[in-house]
């Protein structure tokens, strides 16, 4: 039987990379204007009519710390609506396989490092993004529940921090890596002699290039058919200071970095244990250097159109 693959969120960071890596003739793609995933009726009609065989659920409301902290209601409502509508109608219309994308913020605030799949629901969540995390945890539990009750082959994966072409480079509402690229770029082009960054630079974070993430999603779609989430990451982390130095060098900013220590650092370390996916046979390939270079090239070529 021919595959009909629906990528929810195909214009986003992850969705666009999955789209790039799959056979175009098999894809079913809808923009938000064509299919708003908040609408129960529209999603029901879409699945009944199109009957996709596979679904990559990469549509979500996503943002950095500030957005998560200040728009908690929107984060929990919109993410629950999207995933409830898509997962339930995937079951109703007989989808063969669905992959749900969660996030590493589902793990407890004081989780032992590196964080393993078995650490889920073993402690309190980080307060700044608990609304988003609870929506994502609900998605994991939904996939497992539809498998238990209705025998659906629905799986879920938890990516670490992602970056790459089509990222959100907004100076306030984005994640740390794209925000740094934008800041250093502005400082260089406007001949500033210093850039101020938040915190001490000592927290450690993991970053995965988006094409590696998309490859891992396709790998899981083809090779993993069980209950329980799967972490996706590199298994390696860097300090925020090391990250800033990498980016500064790639962009060619020669001025000073000022660390504003009056601003919070966040959790000291956040690293995923990726033994499970490595044992299944997948490993990340792109080095941080190469990934940042590619992201910066994309940023430069698309500067006029990015969110500022
Ligand atoms: N980025 C990261 O660092 C990161 C880390 C861990 C996990 N994740 C997870 O990975 C997944 C993909 O994230 P991403 O970074 O690719 O996000 P993204 O770039 O913001 O893309 C999300 C996509 O979902 C679409 N979407 C959202 N609400 C919709 C709706 N109501 N109807 C139709 N489309 C809708 C958006 O459409 P519009 O373009 O119209 O807005 C966008 O194309 C998410 O589940 C996220 O939680 C991301």
- Which sequence spans correspond to the domains of the chain? 5-163+208-234+271-286
- Computed over every residue of the chain, the mean pLDDT equals 96
Nearest atom (ligand 1) to Cα of 62: 20
Which residue bears the tokens 């902290």?
A: 69
DSSP 108: -
- Determine if the peptide bond prior to 149 is cis (ω within 30°): no
pLDDT in the model for residue 305: 87
Q: Which residues are catalytic?
A: 132
For residues 75 and 131, is the Cβ–Cβ distance under 8 A? yes
Full-model pTM: 0.96
**Cα-to-centroid distance, 58 and ligand 1 (Å):** 6
Homologous superfamily of 5-163+208-234+271-286 in CATH?
Answer: NAD(P)-binding Rossmann-like Domain (3.40.50.720)
List, in sequence order, every beta strand (DSSP E) within the chain.
5-8, 27-28, 54-57, 97-101, 153-159, 161-163, 194-198, 204-205, 207-209, 229-232, 238-239, 256-260, 269-270
Pocket flag, ligand 1, residue 14 (CB < 6 Å) = yes
Pocket flag, ligand 1, residue 59 (CB < 6 Å) = yes
pLDDT in the model for residue 65: 81
Nearest atom (ligand 1) to Cα of 57: 45
**Cα-to-centroid distance, 61 and ligand 1 (Å):** 6
CA–CA gap between residue 15 and residue 103 (Å, rounded) = 15
CA–CA gap between residue 32 and residue 90 (Å, rounded) = 18
Which among 19, 30, 31, 32 is the best mutation to test ligand 1's pocket, defined by most ligand atoms within 8 Å of the CB? 32
For residues 272 and 231, is the Cβ–Cβ distance under 8 A? yes
- The counts of H helices and E strands in the chain are 10, 13
pLDDT in the model for residue 303: 94
Q: Whose CA is nearest to atom 7 of ligand 1?
A: 103
Q: Whose CA is nearest to atom 8 of ligand 1?
A: 103
Query: pLDDT tens per residue, the chain (308 residues)?
Result: 689 999 999 999 999 999 999 999 999 999 999 999 999 999 999 999 999 999 999 999 998 888 898 999 999 999 999 999 999 999 999 999 999 999 999 999 999 999 999 999 999 999 999 999 999 999 999 999 999 999 999 999 999 999 999 999 998 878 899 999 999 999 999 999 999 998 999 999 999 999 999 999 999 999 999 999 999 999 999 999 999 999 999 999 999 999 999 988 888 999 999 999 999 999 999 999 999 999 999 999 999 988 76
């Amino acid at each position: 039987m021919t595959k009909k693959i629906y990528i929810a969120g195909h214009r986003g960071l992850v969705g666009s990379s999955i789209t790039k890596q799959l056979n175009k003739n098999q894809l079913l793609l809808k923009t938000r204007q064509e299919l708003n995933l908040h609408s129960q009726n529209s999603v029901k009609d879409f699945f009944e009519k199109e009957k996709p065989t596979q679904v990559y659920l990469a549509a979500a409301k996503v943002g950095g710390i500030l957005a998560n902290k200040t728009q908690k209601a929107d984060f929990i409502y919109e993410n629950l609506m999207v995933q409830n509508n898509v997962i339930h109608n995937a079951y109703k219309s007989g989808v063969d396989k669905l992959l749900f994308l969660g996030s590493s913020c589902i793990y407890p605030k004081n989780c032992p490092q590196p964080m393993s799949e078995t650490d889920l629901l073993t402690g309190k969540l980080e307060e700044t993004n608990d609304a988003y995390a609870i929506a994502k945890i609900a998605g994991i539990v939904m996939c497992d529940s539809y498998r238990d009750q209705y025998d659906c082959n629905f799986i879920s994966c938890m990516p670490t921090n992602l970056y790459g072409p089509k990222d959100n480079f907004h100076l306030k509402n984005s994640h740390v890596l794209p925000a740094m690229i934008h800041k250093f770029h502005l400082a260089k082009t406007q001949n500033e002699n210093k850039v101020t960054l938040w915190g001490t630079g000592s927290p450690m974070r993991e970053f995965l290039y988006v094409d590696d993430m998309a490859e891992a999603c396709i790998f899981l779609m083809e090779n993993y058919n069980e209950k329980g989430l799967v972490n996706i990451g590199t298994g390696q982390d860097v300090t925020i200071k090391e990250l800033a130095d990498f980016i500064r060098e790639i962009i060619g900013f020669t001025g000073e970095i000022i660390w504003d220590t009056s601003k919070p650092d966040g959790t000291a370390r956040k690293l995923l244990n990726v033994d499970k996916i490595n044992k299944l046979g997948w490993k990340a390939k792109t080095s941080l250097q190469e990934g940042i270079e590619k992201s910066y090239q994309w940023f430069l070529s698309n500067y006029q159109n990015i969110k500022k």
